[in-house]
Amino acid sequence: MKVSEFAKASGFAVFTSGEEREIESGYCGDFLSNIISRATDACCWLTVMNNVNVAAVATLIDCACIVLCEGVEPDAQLFERAKTAGIWILGANANVYETAKTVCRICGV
């Protein structure tokens, strides 16, 4: 499923939009070293981290989108970097577990 389709179907907030990508998998985590070594390309990355390092890791792992969970919003630096780099950042109010269930239900990943 394309990120734009997922954003619409999920009802998640759209903080930044980016390159139209296919979501092929999911990954939940906040330890950047784990994400770098374990997340796959084109994943939907669920996290509560909201600083500029998230954009750097998202670019490095080539994720399809980032979903900030638990009502977290991107800080100003993350917002600007994601806009510049064309990284999708979505926002969910639910915790990571409930958000992951929504991603699986909608995307089938």
* Cα angle: 16, vertex 18, 22; to 5 degrees: 120
Residue ranges of alpha helices (H) inside the chain are 3-10, 32-38, 52-61, 76-85, 96-107
pLDDT at position 83 over 90:
yes
What CATH number corresponds to the domain at position 68? 3.40.1390.20
Tokens 């900030």 appear where? 68
**Structural domain boundaries, residue 86:** 3-107
Domains identified in the chain, total number = 1
Q: How far is CA 48 from CA 19, 20, 31, 102, in A?
A: 22, 23, 10, 16
Q: What is the pLDDT of residue 109?
A: 86
pLDDT in tens, 2-48: 999 999 999 999 999 999 999 999 999 999 999 999 999 999 999 99
Residue range 45-64: mean pLDDT, rounded: 97
Nearest residue to 98 (alpha-carbon basis) of 34, 10, 25: 10
Q: Are 82 and 56 in contact (CB under 8 A)?
A: no
What pTM was estimated for this model as a whole? 0.96
Q: Are 105 and 44 in contact (CB under 8 A)?
A: no
